[in-house]
Chain A
Amino acid sequence: MKPTGILFFPAFDWAISPTHPEREERLLYTRDQVFEEGIMDLPQIREYKPSIAGLKDIARVHFCVPDIESQITEAHLVAVGSALTIGDAVMQGEVKNGFAIIRPPGHHSMTVSHGNRGFCNINNEPIMIEYLRKKYGIKKVAIVDTDVHHGDGTQEIYYDDPDVLFISFHQDGRTLYPGSGFMDELGGPLAYGTTINVPLAPRTTDTGILYVLDNLVKPLLEEFKPDLVVNSAGQDNHYSDPLANMAFSAQGYARLNSKLAPDIAVLEGGYSVETALPYINMGIIMAMAGIDYSNLREPDYSPTRFRESSSNLEAIKKTVETQLAVFRRRGDTIAANRKKGGDFYKTHKHIFYDTEYIHEEQVVQLRLCPKCSGFRMINSSAQHPNGKFYRVFCISIPVNACEECQQQGRSYYKDMVNNGKFNFVYLQDRIKDEYKSMDMGTETERVL
């Protein structure tokens, strides 16, 4: 039996600010617990060393404004690099599955990054997934986001990609940051049904969450048949988390992981650093490695402490039924959307960056291609905390774009460079694996 790969990168020398929840000792007690247990010495575990990602890996997913260097620190490069290392270990068959216990987190970062949103600047899992898609030719990927917060960044990145199934369950957006992740957020017109949200009422317990897993997530995965399952493994559904209000336990997390059996899990949020994280991380490692976790629990845990209310369970059942139906008729819905015709599908967005009080305005255009799921263009503007105002134009050609979409995308880049209305014009060409950014002020182009 192959071992489970663990990459533990607590970034003991990095914090957003000294008392911010995303600070040095977030994984200190996890370190204490995991090392004291001696689990890393077991033959079922293989520990990996963190590594450093390249700028190109980031450019494959993000348009960082004005450039990547100004949006990240070295810690981000190591967190991303670590996810790539675990991805490689799994894809090369060195391990049966892998868990990257890394920080800083990333799942609130969207395609365009003007700054830090919800403790995130760049998004670890999509960067890893695009890297693995490019390197190993994987097509279909499922991401299951089990963080208590809606994984709005990951959702946005894959909103128009029908080959990536994004499932997020989280505390209802009416009661928690980022205030999104409602049931009607189901993907763009040509990728309808491969974004599935399950908002849950505060105080939902193990019973409720595992019901979602058994009755929605598992069937979705069985029908979607992904080549790779990634768990965005936030740990803030825990009953002791200071930033949210759910009632999930370490046992619950371990059972969730056993049922889901992800190929790769990547840590996201979770801020109950003393009373939850050490036990949840142990639980996930044990579940992934196939080690019996029945002896694991938090010091203050009691199996009778939280009871799922029957009304909540009824509500969850209804949500599950609705979302399953939406997913199953996605083919028809997409066909109908295509028939409606039109050249581009246009949406206006306002995006708020809570950490840095940035307000971004976006106009997104998706090409309604008859042959593929189109390519995206984002016209984005925002004032940065340093007072500078940026107006940028971004073109993203996905891995599954058709010939026509590729050519159009590339020629729009030339047009927008000539247009002169923008500070920066970016082209993300995932087919050629080439990433261009044109600084109109200095008229210099950078190609990664």
Chain B
Amino acid sequence: MLIGIDVGGTYTDGVLYEGSSIVSSVKRPTDETNLKNSLLQVLDELVGSGEKDKLKRVVLSTTLVTNLLATRRGERTALLLLPGHGLPQQVYATGPDTYFLKGGVDFRGRVIEPPDKNEIRDVLKEVESLGIKRVAVAAKFANRNNEHEKLIRKIIEEEYPDISVVISSEISCKLNFPRRAVTAYFTAMTLKEWNRFADDIEQALKERDVEAEIHILKADGGTIPLSVSRKKPYETVFSGPAASTMGAVALTRDNLNSVVLDIGGTTTDISLIIGGQPLYASRGAHIEGRYTHINALAVKSIPLGGDSIVWCEWYANGDSAIRVGPHRKGAAACFGGEQPTVTDVFNYNLDLKLGKPELSKAKLEELAQKVRLSTVDLCDNIVEMVIDHLADAVEDMFKEWENEPAYKVWEIIHGRKFRLDRLIGIGAAAEAIIPLVAKKMNVDHFIHKYSPVANALGACVVRPTLAVEVHVDTENNFFTVDPGGYRKSLGKTGNFQLSDAKELAQKYLKEIGQERGMGEYINEFQFYMEEQFNVIKGWHRAGKLFDIGVQVSPGFINEYRGVDA
């Protein structure tokens, strides 16, 4: 027995899965002020419908961290940056408590400029005097050598034991200093709140005598144990869209190229599935206007949903134009709302008999009179606008993927072409809208009876994921490992080959996987990056550089056998 719960902005969805079917599903409005209660209410309903001691795993997806960041309710955090030379330092300022420190490292991990301990101590004194208890430290090229970050952490731990510190190299070793800095900063800001939430959940489950494993859904469509998430709250952002996308994959279970449209109240989330695998955002999750190093599925959100109002804009010269969205003003008219919405239009046009259809009709007639159209024509126009808008957004999404920069001849010559096979509709409004969009785009569509709870199903049945990247520099005799930020000596460098580098990456994948309790899934890895370069001095080879990436990509746990139609 498995449970998946997705606490979304509007609804909290949950499913209980057993054998090869969804035994029960629950949908309740989310109480934004108390996510924990929303979650537990759904959990209790689900647990009540099954046998508690058969429950093996509970996976939670929550907007807690996303909300903390969006509403700036995270803890006050100082960001200590060591940007060295390059862009103006101010470009990297993040939040009101950013400090710049001396200290530089280059792309080969060589120290260019040592840090200044007096300067560090002065800054820490100021941080303490402001009552700040959280510090994030990020240095340019700390992914190649993190000794400066570690030095600062050591000083803080020794001299300010009540200040807790996060260093960027332990968060990510990918290139891109500002993304690393922002990710470390967000981590420091949300650690305490997230841990409080994790405590509450553990406590609540204990009270309920539930002994199942508890996992958290990540933005990349995989899970991590709740215990591991305590150090990595940032991994939990944007898990909602990941849940929907993985839910769509779970319902289709094939290797087609699909676009998933999750039509919600105010927005539609669009994601790509290429050959059965969800696509990652090439620049990491985009939070509060900043790119991060958080692995996330590529999800484009457009301001068009079932509750988007339809209205008329009047110009000074007396002309008018019909508009759809982007605002929402409460529910659809058929559900008692004040203004006609997209849902009302489809309700009227396709005779869906949602809520009180006569209310849809009344509000639309009112609008039609104002713009001097028949209600039928008005609705036809709006349907066409909605369909065009969605179809364009889908096209943009795969054009963007096709136009991602690439850096090898082979990649350019062989190109990228997205041949769309199918649209997958998720969310309550999908059934009315998706078939029309698919028709317009001349592709198939797929809507399942469980589409409205696909997000919870996605959370329920996905497997753990992990990506490990190793950078090896044989000339300078070191390697670094991401995640974790380990930097170690290579030992033998004499005849270090690509195969050795791959073995090293695999070894760390298994070690880290074991720490994270990934079990058997760790064996289902693939290499996604294999770069090797010679270091030439004069006309001779002085060493080699390798960048290896290996991962367990998004997929499903072995217990998942699809759902009965």
Determine the distance from Cα of A18 to Cα of B540 in the docked complex, in whole angstroms. 10
Which residues of chain A come closer than 8 Å to B533, judged between CB atoms? 12, 24-25, 28
Q: Within the complex, what minimum Cβ distance (angstroms) separates B232 from chain A? A: 22
Q: Are A13 and B408 interface neighbours, CB within 8 A?
A: yes
Task: Establish whether residues B534 and A278, one from each chain, have CB atoms under 8 Å apart when the complex forms.
Answer: no
Query: Which residue of B has the minimal Cβ distance to A21?
Result: B536
B104 at the interface (CB under 8 A from A): yes
Give the distance in Å from the alpha carbon of A286 to the alpha carbon of B85 in the complex: 13
Contact call A50/B412, Cβ cutoff below 8 A: yes
Interface membership of A390, Cβ < 8 A:
no
Kindly provide the distance from the CB of A102 to the nearest chain B CB, expressed in whole angstroms.
11
Q: Does B28 contact A (CB under 8 A)?
A: no
**A14 interface contact, C-beta 8 A:** yes
At the interface, yes or no: B403 with Cβ under 8 Å from chain A?
Answer: yes
Residues of B within 8 A of A141 (CB): none
Contact in complex: A295, B175 (CB < 8 Å): no
The yes or no answer to B112 lying at the interface (CB within 8 A) is: yes
Q: Which residue of B lies closest to A73 (CB)?
A: B409
Chain A interface category by residue count: 35 or more
Cβ of A44 to closest chain B Cβ, rounded Å: 10
Identify the stretch in A29-37, A163-171, A232-240 within 8 Å (CB) of chain B at 4 or more residues.
A29-37
- Map CB proximity to B onto A1-34 as digits: 1 under 8 Å, 0 otherwise: 0000000111111100011000111001101110
Contacts of A294 in B (CB 8 A): 88
Cα distance, A299 to B85, chains bound together (Å): 8
A51 cross-chain contacts in B, Cβ below 8 A: 412
Q: Closest B-chain residue to A31, C-beta based?
A: B407
Query: Could you mark each residue 72-90 of chain B with 1 if its beta carbon is under 8 Å from any beta carbon of chain A, else 0?
Result: 0000000000000111110
- How many residues of B are in contact with the other chain, CB < 8 A? 42
Q: Which of B176-184, B308-316, B344-352, B555-563 contacts A (4 or more CB under 8 A)?
A: B176-184
**In the bound complex, what is the Cα–Cα distance between A81 and B291 (angstroms)?**
29
Residues of A within 8 A of B86 (CB): 33, 37, 282, 295-296
Q: Mark A287-303, 1 if CB is under 8 A from B, else 0.
A: 00001101111010000
B536 x A41 contact (CB < 8 A): no
Q: Is B409's CB under 8 angstroms from A38's CB?
A: no
Give B403's nearest chain A residue, CB to CB. Answer: A49
Distance between B240 CB and nearest chain A CB, rounded to angstroms: 24
Give, as a whole number of angstroms, the nearest-CB distance from B415 to chain A.
8
Contact of A52 among B291, B408, B412 (CB under 8 A): B412
Nearest CB on B from A124, distance (A): 15
- Complex: how many Å from CA A49 to CA B531? 20
Closest to A7 in B: B405
A36 touches B541 (CB 8 A): no
- B431 contacts A by Cβ under 8 Å: no
Q: How far is the CA of A29 from the CA of B108 in the complex (A)?
A: 9
CA distance A294 to B541 in the complex (A): 35
Complex Cα–Cα for A406 and B533 (A): 50
A361 within 8 A of B: no
Q: Which of the listed residues B88, B92, B407, B539 has the most CB atoms from chain A within 10 Å of its own CB?
A: B407
Q: Is the C-beta of B106 less than 8 angstroms from some C-beta in chain A? A: yes
A48 interfacial by beta-carbon distance below 8 Å: yes
B107 proximal to A (CB < 8 A): yes
Give CA–CA (A50, B407) in the complex, Å: 8
Distance in Å: Cβ of A296 to nearest Cβ of chain B: 6
Q: Is B70 an interface position by the 8 A CB rule?
A: no
The answer to whether B177 and A37 have CB atoms under 8 Å apart is yes
> Known contacts being A25-B535, A48-B405, is A292 close to B88, with CB within 8 Å?
yes
**Residue in contact with B175 in the complex, picked from A32, A77, A286, CB distance below 8 Å:** A32
Contact A25 B406 (CB under 8 A): no
> Which residue, of B87, B110, B175, has the highest number of chain A Cβ atoms within 10 A?
B87
> Within the assembled complex, what's the spacing in Å between the Cα atoms of A371 and B73?
75
Q: Give the Cβ gap from A89 to chain B, nearest Cβ, in Å.
A: 12
Which residues of chain A have C-beta atoms less than 8 A from B87's C-beta?
37-39, 282, 286, 291, 295-296
Decide: B409 and A25 in contact? CB cutoff 8 A.
no
In the complex, B215 has a CB within 8 A of chain A: no
CB of A162 to closest CB in B, whole Å: 37
Measured between beta carbons, the chain B residues less than 8 angstroms from A24 are 533-534
Check B176–A36 contact: CB distance below 8 A.
Answer: yes
Q: Which residue of A lies closest to B532 (CB)?
A: A24
> Do the beta carbons of A78 and B545 come within 8 Å of each other?
no
Residues of B within 8 A of A29 (CB): 107-108
A42: Cβ under 8 A from any B Cβ: yes
List chain A residues, Cβ under 8 A from B405. Answer: 8, 47-50
A52 with B178: CB separation less than 8 A? no
- A75 within 8 Å of B by Cβ? yes
Q: How long is the Cα–Cα vector from A42 to B291 in the complex, in angstroms?
A: 10
Contacts of A19 on B, CB cut-off 8 Å?
A: 534, 536, 539-541
Complex Cα distance, B410 from A73, in Å, reads 11
Measured CB to CB, the closest approach of chain B to A60, in angstroms, equals 21
Does A74 interact with chain B (Cβ within 8 Å)? yes
**How far in angstroms is the closest Cβ of chain B from A74?**
5
* A50–B413 alpha-carbon span in the complex (Å): 10
The answer to whether A38 and B178 have CB atoms under 8 Å apart is yes
Contact assessment for A299 and B106 in the assembled complex, using a CB-CB cutoff below 8 Å: yes
Contact between chains at A74 and B409 (CB < 8 Å):
yes
Compute how far the CA of A73 lies from the CA of B205 in the bound complex, rounded to whole angstroms: 64
Whether B409 lies near A75 (C-beta < 8 A) is yes
Q: Assess whether A274 is interfacial by the CB under 8 Å rule.
A: yes
User: Chain A contacts of B283 at CB under 8 A?
Assistant: 41
Tell whether, in the assembled complex, residue B112 and residue A38 are in contact, meaning their CB atoms are under 8 Å apart.
no
Does any Cβ of A come within 8 Å of B321's Cβ? no
Chain A residues, CB < 8 A from B531: 12
Q: Contact at B407–A10, with CB atoms within 8 Å?
A: yes
Question: What's the Cα separation between A160 and B113 when bound, in Å?
Answer: 52
Interface centre among B85, B86, B112, B531 (most CB of A within 10 A): B86
**Chain B 88-105: CB-based contact to A (< 8 A → 1; otherwise 0):** 110110000000000010
Is B234 located at the chain interface by the 8 A CB criterion? Answer: no
Q: In the complex, what residues of A have CB within 8 A of residue B536's CB?
A: 19, 23, 25
> Which residues 37-95 in A have Cβ within 8 Å of B in the complex?
37-39, 41-42, 47-52, 73-75, 77-78, 81
**Complex Cα–Cα for A29 and B141 (A):** 12
Contact with A along B163-182 (1 / 0, CB 8 A): 00000000000011111000
A32 to B108, CA, bound (A): 9
Q: Are A13 and B409 in contact (CB under 8 A)?
A: yes
Bound CA–CA A11/B104 (angstroms): 29
Q: In the complex, are the beta carbons of A291 and B88 less than 8 A apart?
A: yes
Structural contact, B407 and A38, CB atoms closer than 8 A = no
Q: Which residue of A lies closest to B533 (CB)?
A: A25
Contact A9 B108 (CB under 8 A): no
Interface of chain B residues 246 through 285 with chain A (CB within 8 A): 283
Interface flags, B380-422, vs A, CB<8A=1, else 0: 0000000000000000000000011111111011000000000
Partner of B179, one of A38, A49, A77, A296: A38
Q: Which B313-328 residues sit within 8 Å CB-CB of chain A?
A: none
Contact B545 A74 (CB under 8 A): no
Q: Across the interface, which residues of B come within 8 angstroms of A297, CB to CB?
A: 85
B502 within 8 A of A: no
Query: Given the complex of chains A and B, what is the CA–CA distance between A268 and B534 in angstroms?
Result: 22
> Measured between alpha carbons, how far is A278 from B84 in the docked complex, in Å?
14
| A25 shortest CB reach to chain B, Å | 4
The answer to the question of B487 belonging to the interface, with a C-beta cut-off of 8 Å to chain A, is: no
- Is B361 part of the contact surface with A, judged by Cβ < 8 Å? no
Within the complex, what minimum Cβ distance (angstroms) separates A290 from chain B? 12
Residue pairs across A and B with Cβ atoms less than 8 A apart, 7 shown, are A9-B407, A12-B533, A14-B409, A38-B176, A38-B178, A41-B283, A295-B87
B interface residues with partner A (beta carbon < 8 Å): 85-89, 91-92, 104, 106-108, 110, 112, 140-141, 143, 175-179, 283, 291, 403-410, 412-413, 531, 533-536, 539-541, 545
5 other A-B residue contacts (CB within 8 Å) besides A291-B87, A295-B88: A12-B408, A19-B540, A25-B535, A32-B107, A36-B175
CB-based closest 6 A-B pairs: A32-B107, A38-B178, A25-B533, A35-B175, A299-B112, A13-B408
